[in-house]
Amino acid sequence: MSVSIYYTCTREYVLTESEQQAITAIVQRYDQDFEGKDRAESFTVYKFDSSRSTEIFAGATKLSMTDQIEDLLNDLFHWLKCLTEIRRKVDGGEWHVHLDDIDAVWDDELGWKMPEN
C-alpha cells in the first residue's frame, strides 16, 4: 500500500516569471537533497501555471513503500518543508495540502505540518 501527499494552489491570476523560477529552483534543490531517492518518487508537479484555470500549481508525490515508519515520516517532512518554501514564494492563493485523506495544517511561523490529533 502506498501513501501520497497531494498539493494544489488556486488564485485568480497566473504565476509570475519570478515565482515560476523560484518554484523550479526549490523543487530541484529538494529533489537533489532527497535522501529517499532510492525508495520513493521525487517531487511531482502536474500543473505549473495555467491561463485557462484558477489552479496555478498542483501535484502529488508518492511516499516510500517501506515498513520503516521513520523513513516514511522523513520523506513526508522533507516534502512538507519543500511545499512550505514554495508557498512562501507564491504571492497569495488558496492552498490545499493533504496526505491521502488527512489535511496538512498551515502555520504562519512553522509552515506545513500534519495535525497533532
Q: Please write the tens of the pLDDT for every residue from 2-42.
A: 789 999 999 988 888 999 999 999 999 999 999 888 888 88
Mean pLDDT within 70-81: 92
The model scores a pTM over 0.95: no
What top-level class would CATH report for the domain 4-113? Answer: alpha beta
Say yes or no to pLDDT of 1 above 70: no
CA distance 26 to 85: 7
CA distance 116 to 105: 9
Confidence at residue 52, expressed as pLDDT on a 0 to 100 scale: 63
Say yes or no to pLDDT of 64 above 90: no
CA distance 15 to 66: 36
The per-residue DSSP string of 51-95 comes to: SSSSEEEEEEEEPP--S-HHHHHHHHHHHHHHHHHHHHHS-S-EE
Give the residue extent of every domain in the chain.
4-113
Confidence at residue 105, expressed as pLDDT on a 0 to 100 scale: 97
Residue 4's closest CA among 68, 72, 55?
72
